[in-house]
Structure 1
Amino acid sequence: MSAIRDRIAARALAPGARLPSVRKLAETMDVSKSTVVEAYERLCAEGAIVSRRGSGFFVAGATRPLSLKAIGPQIDRVIDPIWLTLQSFQAPADMLKPGSGWLPDAWMPDVGIQRAFRQMAREPTALRISYDRPLGFAPLRQYLARRLGERGIVAEPDQIILVDSSTQAVDLLLRFLIEPGTTVLVDDPCYYNFHALLRAHRANVVGVPFTPHGPDLDAFATALKTHRPRLYLTNSALHNPTGASLSAATVHRVLKLCEAHDTIIIEDDIFADFESTPTPRLAGFDGLDRVILTGGFSKTISAAMRCSFIAVKGDWIEPLIDLKLATSLGNNHVAAAFVHNVLTDGGYRRHLDSVRAKLSNAMGETVRRLRALGLTPLCEPQGGMFLWAELPDGLDSAAIARHGLQNNVLFAPGNVFSQAQNARSFLRFNVARSLEPQVCHVLEAGMKSQSQ
């Protein structure tokens, strides 16, 4: 019964679809025919399926709401991407969150945020009340074009589309570029919400091992040749969760391979402002030909006033705008103006200098503490907030996460980030939230409890 319910919830069985015959399902599940008959009869009583004399059993009713959990593998909820998101958002205020993906509130530019709100109160009424233009707030797009140029990415303001979050940006691009069953490459490990988004779009996801220098190029070439993916979805700088950044040579090779196999790249650059010196970007080398760049400011300004962008070649602007309007009627005009005010306030650059210095100190200290406990970082990132570290002796990070929850500490277990589920012994640490001594005390206790 659970197997049938899960297939209906995942839309693998649509309304009106015929279920396997009693004999066939009994053979598939290695149970008796009477067990299948009993299950079907109970499902009929629930109203989940209907029986048609002489024809068999069929899915009843209208299409069920989409269940991401049902689409994915039936694994322990502790290593489910949505579980980590829910725990991060719903955790009590006093919970320590070394597994979360954002800076502590005290590190954010609240004085600049207050100034931006006061400035917006003096702006014309339309800014606070009316819909924005289809591309989004023009002064912010002009500012972004200049900022991207400083990083070697040439994009005119009219090649930039504002959206409400980086997640919305990726979702919009997936709607634009793929259909159910389309193959998409991701890094393994990669940002856990990429998995959830691709699952929602019913993509065929293929993971490529990620190294301290970027994707394993031999495995990347093999995946392109074998699977012919439509897209490659990645962070190329301050990668989530590993913290690594691609070298110029790796960027060049990835672009050549994708060009040879006609694969489009979505490059999520959400952590750009954490870099003191910009590293190479796929979009910079490519000139926005087959690379689409996304970015945003929830990590450095405010997660409560979300505003992000898509930079894309001119030919795709009009159809993307059509899709944006069809799905959202635009973007948050107030949030865009707010972000522009913060960015153009002289305090923002000072804020970034302070955050980068704090992160650098936190990175060094977190690496030192984790090594003392026997963990091994994949690499020592040159910036950003994330550190990807392996537990000793093959210990299970999911068990560490369970132990952490029992002791008011939220850890991020490795398999949340892994398509192949081969990161069992890894944890992602947010170094800005890993300095409380209790984090290491709970981590050490969890490791000892497994070893006993």
Structure 2
Amino acid sequence: MALTDPESRTTLLAEVMETIRGRIANRSLTPGMRLPSIRGCARSMRVSKSTVVEAYDRLAAEGVIRSQPGSGFYVTAPLAPLSLAETGPERVREVDPLWISRQALGAGDDLLIPGCGWLPPSWMPVEGLRRALRAAARAEPAGLADYGTPLGLPALRALLARRMAGHGIEAAPGQIMLTESGTQAIDLVCRFLLNPGDTVLVDDPCYFNFHALLRAHQVKIVGIPYTAAGPDVAGFAGAVAEHAPRLYVTNSALHNPTGATLSPVTAHRLLTLADQAGMTIVEDDIFADFEAGPAPRLAAFDGLSRVVYIGSFSKSLSASVRCGYIAAPADWIEGLVDLRIATAFGGPALSAELVLTLLQDGSYRKHMDTVRSRLARAMEETLAQLRRIGIAPWIEPQAGMFVWCRLPDGMDAADLARRMLAEKIVLAPGNAFSHARQAGGFLRFNVAQCEDERIFAALARALA
């Protein structure tokens, strides 16, 4: 932070103190850590050494830091409670991922949410869910009241193994563990593999909740520019060489937010680099059932050696019926199960039964056939509407619900989102997805949530 306003020594003093408190709050400075030297702090903050001396003295008087003669100043304040809002870069609320999610999740009937990441409830197989619930209600008492097994419902895991084989991924049922969601699955993998301070690579742009989840694990995030064929391979190689990352988290098919699909050539190069670096790849494939044709899977090329495969039914079946899964190397499963028990105890027993019923009776297959057809029509209609008002797609996705769009030159997505909120429309500005904050002129649209003409009318007025 550069403090360049010399107008008031009092103001400068307060800003220095607030900066130190902020670094303690966001855990950049933790108990026992040495503060920058007086000279170094004065130079970096562009203030006088006397201002820093007074700021340190006042913070010491408050008990936030302590002086150790001949050595410097050290943090004495207790470890601050983790605040994800504090750990990330400062953002206006319209591009803060957690704020966007809160608005979309709390949306009433009067709020339009083209920036959200899920299908409308009216698109979901509600009648099939009701039938599955009625069947579950007739189950033995243990099925309604007891904890699930550590790995999860065996019949569903066996069925998932067969479904994965359709994507070329060979996984025995014993390599699959059910979770409450794809997010919980990634969280467990992070708990299993990461320590605070480790480096994790993500696509830039990527699903914005990856940023928040990784910040919760207190790791260093490095973004890799994303292209229409996958991450930039040269950038990926450079980041691997410079940062020695522990993980890379990505979507290979129907990438969120861009809608792009990983090419086979890029997939092979990524796996070669990961193998050379001893790095694990987490392949989040929760949109697998939305694709119109098969796309390359890192887990298929790798054989679940360095790739952990994540799936979920929250986006395709029901956000209320929470059921996801992890497919991992066989010798990792026991450790993941232990973490699962420690953090959530039993598995999603009732949700797993509902998912199994819908998969087995054909309801899910028919539902997804309908969804893919509806999404294809919605994509065509949404792209036509956006082009009409001067918003162009980065690429035309082959399938799925997302389209990544470039605004007219000079238009800022955060500013547009702020104005649309006054019209009761929640957008998803590009910098919510960009760790480097290089996507200020982009928006992600969910075509399934763009059926209301008021969205395009409001956007047209704003762009006029």
Same fold (TM over 0.5): yes
Please state whether the residue corresponding to 1:407 is helix, strand or coil: coil
Match of 1:330 in 2: 346
Residue in 1 that maps onto 2:443:
427
After TM superposition, list the pairs within 5 Å mapping 1:176-325 onto structure 2.
176-325=192-341
Distance 1:439 1:46, change over 3 A: farther
Cα offset, 1:33, TM superposition: 4.8
Aligned-partner Cα distance in 2 for 1:388–1:60: 46
Counterpart-to-counterpart distance in 1, 2:301 and 2:39: 58
Q: CA deviation at 1:75?
A: 2.7
Q: What is the percent sequence identity of the aligned residues?
A: 54
Aligned equivalent of 1:353, options 366, 369, 372: 369
Q: 1:125 to 1:440 in 2, by over 3 A?
A: same
Deviation per CA, 1:173-212: give whole Å up to 9, x if none. Answer: 1111121222221111110011111111122222111111
Shift of 1:215: 1.4
- Residue aligning to 2:399: 383
Amino acid at match of 1:87: Q
Show the counterpart of 2:390.
374
More displaced 10-residue stretch of structure 1: 155-164 or 77-86 = 77-86
Q: CA RMSD in A?
A: 2.1
What are the ranges of 5 or more consecutive residues in structure 1 without an aligned counterpart? Answer: none
Counterparts of 2:287 and 2:306, CA distance in 1: 21
In structure 2, how many angstroms separate the alpha carbons of the residues matched to 1:297 and 1:385? 15
Alpha carbons of structure 1 residues 18 and 223: separation in structure 2 relative to 1, 3 Å: closer
Q: Which amino acid letter does the alignment assign opposite residue 110 of structure 1?
A: V
Cα deviation, residue 21, structure 1:
5.5
- Could you tell me whether the CA contact under 8 Å between 2:114 and 2:450 is conserved in 1? yes
1:60-75 matches, within 5 Å, as 60-75=76-91
Contact 2:25 2:80 in 1 (8 A): yes
Distance in 2 of aligned mates of 1:55 and 1:253: 49
8 A contact 2:292–2:398 mirrored in 1 = no
Q: Quickly say closer, same or farther: Cα 1:373–1:152, change in 2 above 3 A.
A: same
SS of aligned partner of 2:395:
coil
The answer to whether the aligner puts 1:164 opposite 2:204 as a matched pair is: no
* Partner amino acid, structure 1, of 2:322: R
Aligned length: 448
Distance 1:26 1:222, change over 3 A: closer
Distance across 2 between alignment mates of 1:352 and 1:65: 43
C-alpha distance in 2, partners of 1:412/1:271?
19
1:48, distance to aligned residue in structure 2 (A): 4.4
Q: Deviations over 1:355-381 (max 9, x none)?
A: 111100000111111112222211111
C-alpha distance after superposition, 1:99-152 (max 9, x if no partner) = 000001100111011111111111111112111111111111111111111221
Cα distance in 2 between the residues matched to 1:39 and 1:223: 38
Which blocks of at least 5 consecutive residues in structure 2 are unaligned? 1-16
Equivalent position SS for 1:392: coil
Alpha-carbon distance in 2 for matches of 1:250, 1:278: 16
Structure 2 residue 132 is matched with structure 1 residue 133:
no
Quickly say closer, same or farther: Cα 1:50–1:446, change in 2 above 3 A: farther
Q: TM-score, normalised by structure 2?
A: 0.91
CA distance, structure 2, for counterparts of residue 51 and residue 284 of structure 1? 57
Which secondary structure state, in structure 1, belongs to the residue aligned with residue 443 of structure 2? strand
Counterparts of 2:266 and 2:30, CA distance in 1: 44
1:153 to 143, 147, 169: 169
311-320 or 234-243, which moves further after superposition? Answer: 311-320
Q: What's the counterpart of residue 438 of structure 1?
A: 454
